[in-house]
Chains A and B, each alone.
Chain A
Amino acid sequence: MTAVVELRDVSRVYPGTPPVEALVDVSLVVEPGDYVSIVGPSGSGKSTLLHVLGCLDRHSAGTYLLDGVDVAGLGDAARTRLRAERIGFVFQAFHLLGRRTAIENVMLGELYRRRPRAGRRERAAAALARVGLGHRVDFLPTRLSGGERQRVAVARALIGDPSLLLCDEPTGALDSANTAAILELFEDLRDGGLTLVVITHDDDVSRRASRQVRIADGRLHELV
């Protein structure tokens, strides 16, 4: 079975004087169904790692296979396609469009994929139901709580049936009750077979994952 993510000695150097080494010889394998947390303080390189994993940024050296595809060899258009088809993003700041209802925000997740328009609303409704927001379909984000907004964002990521759900500080803007709810949702999704990578600075959040990886100064250490 192909690993969802396979990083081999990946480095990312930002040019400058002196050059900044954000990632140094990072190796990581995420198997299907894994729930991996990457924890580290700010400035440790976790954002860079997230961007490389999400094909938003290019690594400088090493090999990155996403679902067995070597990302380094792909052009901008192909990487964008890969991102659309394989990766679902969840951001700390939710990134919901304020003037669109919850279901319209979720439908946005399918906009750039090769899916027919027909049935999009039904698929979005199903994704909302999956995160427990079936009763908030036509609410504007401004009328939702932080936890509900983040669940809308998760639904938006799920509508594309991604191979990998990539979460960047998903609880960073939430209080403890909403954090607990989101983490429960992640466990449910993991139980449903989804592969998750959660990047956080919060050890409590990190401990809920099946595997924990610590990053510091651009180097990864697996915690057992």
Chain B
Amino acid sequence: MNVRDLAAEAVAGVLARPGRATLTILGTVLGIGSLVATLGISKTAGNQIVGRFDELAATEVTVEPSESSGAAGQVIPWDAEDRVGRLNGVTAAGTLADVDVAGSLVSSVPVVDPAAQTAHALPVRAASPGLLAAVRGRIGSGRWFDGGHSDRADRVAVLGRAAAERLGISRVDHQPAVFVGDRLYVVIGIVVAVGRRPELLDAVVLPEGTARVDWGLAAPGVVQIETAIGAASLIASQAPLALVPNQPGLLSVSKPAEPRRAREGAERDVESLFAVLGGVSLLVGAIGIANVTLVSVLERVGEIGLRRALGARRRHIAAQFLAESTAMGVLGGVLGTSAGIVVVVGVAASRSWTPVLDPLIPLLAPAAGAAVGLAAGVYPSLRAAALEPVEALRAGT
């Protein structure tokens, strides 16, 4: 009896009672399906958490003077934006500094209303032209300043949204202006949203060169860098050298936490619970297959006797019932794997996630089903093989 004969007999044996076979493999389908779904969903969810980091935190690197670098902290060079921008992996970079305006208030020009407050103590900050991209800022109206404004020390300013509201400025096409102390600045744009550095929203932002000339800004305060995904650690190690090659230790770098640990934690939480559930249903599935195979052996005593009379050895009988239960296990495994993948994709789609699945799972899960079927078939097939042909022929019809 060769393997093809054995396989054909096993398939015929399973298909002889399709309804029963369907119910029998249901347990395995559920078990394998929930295991696959569990592994897939936890992996998908784990990647999703990382994906959320990716959006902002995982690509953000900031460089500041370290506390030990001296009282002034004037270590970041004015061309920091260019120096960092040359690093491979940096997608945007800019510098930002708080401007000491010595208590000057900010007021908008035209309205002189004795009843209302017209001068506000707003923070004034200085930024480089690349900062807007580095903080993922969005301009609501007007424009951001460029290198020319900074180089010429033009008296222009960009307002954060909150600052603009307080100053009563909502549009820039009529060239509104604000006083900072007694210096007049033309408002050329309003920033309505930022992904990072929310302190920009309530500030009056001046070009760095302007702040340097008008207010004596000594050095940029912080370098804000956006990196390509995955490049944050590399950039964090390179940026201080690029900025201050002779004394990189004067700078302190903050970079995102390594995402790997967060991912592992997320997976463990979800997996442990559902893996237990999947394991239990797999066990139930195995018991189901064992039960039905045993019933099938008892029902087919006559067939077993006939096969023995036709020359089947005990091992042929055992092999046939093992093959039948294994076939049911494989079928359950394949169907369960498919169902599990559908669930993973469905859950991911409903949350707008990217479904992620270990490529080994679609290969291993049917094998696990086969193992379940094989294990479930051991006892029934031994029972079948142990039947004496004479007894089997007498009992069967």
- A and B interact physically: yes
Partner of A99, one of B16, B302, B308: B16
Partner of B310, one of A57, A99, A111: A111
- Nearest-CB distance from A152 to chain B (Å)? 13
The answer to whether A95 touches B311, judged by C-beta atoms less than 8 angstroms apart, is no
- Count contacts on B: residues with CB < 8 A to the other chain: 27
Partner of B2, one of A76, A89, A99, A117: A117
Interface assignment of A84: CB less than 8 Å from any CB of chain B: yes
B12 / chain A contacts, CB cutoff of 8 Å: 99-100
- Count contacts on A: residues with CB < 8 A to the other chain: 27
Interface assignment of A211: CB less than 8 Å from any CB of chain B: no
Interface code B359-394, partner A: CB below 8 Å = 1, 0 otherwise? Answer: 000000000000000000000000000000110011
Interface assignment of A187: CB less than 8 Å from any CB of chain B: no
A108 / chain B contacts, CB cutoff of 8 Å: 307, 310
Interface assignment of A25: CB less than 8 Å from any CB of chain B: no
Interface assignment of A201: CB less than 8 Å from any CB of chain B: no
B389 / chain A contacts, CB cutoff of 8 Å: 56
Interface assignment of A139: CB less than 8 Å from any CB of chain B: no
The answer to whether A97 touches B303, judged by C-beta atoms less than 8 angstroms apart, is yes
The answer to whether A80 touches B305, judged by C-beta atoms less than 8 angstroms apart, is no
Interface assignment of A109: CB less than 8 Å from any CB of chain B: yes
CA distance A89 to B310 in the complex (A): 8
Interface assignment of A121: CB less than 8 Å from any CB of chain B: no
Interface assignment of B312: CB less than 8 Å from any CB of chain A: yes
The answer to whether A113 touches B390, judged by C-beta atoms less than 8 angstroms apart, is no
B397 / chain A contacts, CB cutoff of 8 Å: 93
CA distance A56 to B390 in the complex (A): 6
Interface assignment of B5: CB less than 8 Å from any CB of chain A: yes
A95 / chain B contacts, CB cutoff of 8 Å: 302-303, 305-306, 309, 393, 396
Q: What are 13 A-B pairs at a CB distance below 8 A?
A: A56-B309, A56-B389, A56-B390, A76-B313, A81-B311, A83-B311, A89-B310, A95-B309, A99-B15, A100-B12, A111-B1, A111-B9, A112-B312
CA distance A56 to B5 in the complex (A): 24
- Nearest-CB distance from B273 to chain A (Å)? 43
Interface code A36-69, partner B: CB below 8 Å = 1, 0 otherwise? Answer: 0000000000010001001011000000000000
B390 / chain A contacts, CB cutoff of 8 Å: 51, 56-57
Interface assignment of A177: CB less than 8 Å from any CB of chain B: no
Q: Which residues of B contact A (CB under 8 A)?
A: 1-2, 4-5, 9, 12, 15-16, 302-303, 305-314, 316, 389-390, 393-394, 396-397
Interface of B: prevailing SS: helix
Interface code A71-97, partner B: CB below 8 Å = 1, 0 otherwise? Answer: 000001100110111000101010101
Contacting residues of chain A (108-122) with chain B, CB-CB under 8 angstroms: 108-109, 111-113, 117
The answer to whether B311 touches A113, judged by C-beta atoms less than 8 angstroms apart, is yes
Other than the known A95-B305, A112-B310, what 5 A-B pairs have Cβ atoms closer than 8 Å? A85-B311, A111-B9, A111-B312, A112-B1, A117-B5
Contacting residues of chain A (135-168) with chain B, CB-CB under 8 angstroms: 156, 160
The answer to whether A117 touches B1, judged by C-beta atoms less than 8 angstroms apart, is no
Closest 9 CB pairs of A and B: A84-B311, A112-B311, A99-B16, A95-B306, A89-B309, A112-B312, A80-B313, A56-B389, A93-B397
The answer to whether A76 touches B314, judged by C-beta atoms less than 8 angstroms apart, is yes
- Nearest-CB distance from B146 to chain A (Å)? 82
A89 / chain B contacts, CB cutoff of 8 Å: 306, 309-310
CA distance A89 to B393 in the complex (A): 11
CA distance A147 to B2 in the complex (A): 33
CA distance A63 to B129 in the complex (A): 110
A100 / chain B contacts, CB cutoff of 8 Å: 12
CA distance A112 to B397 in the complex (A): 21
Q: Who on chain B is nearest to A95 by CB?
A: B306
A77 / chain B contacts, CB cutoff of 8 Å: 313
- Nearest-CB distance from A154 to chain B (Å)? 14
CA distance A25 to B294 in the complex (A): 41
- Nearest-CB distance from B392 to chain A (Å)? 9
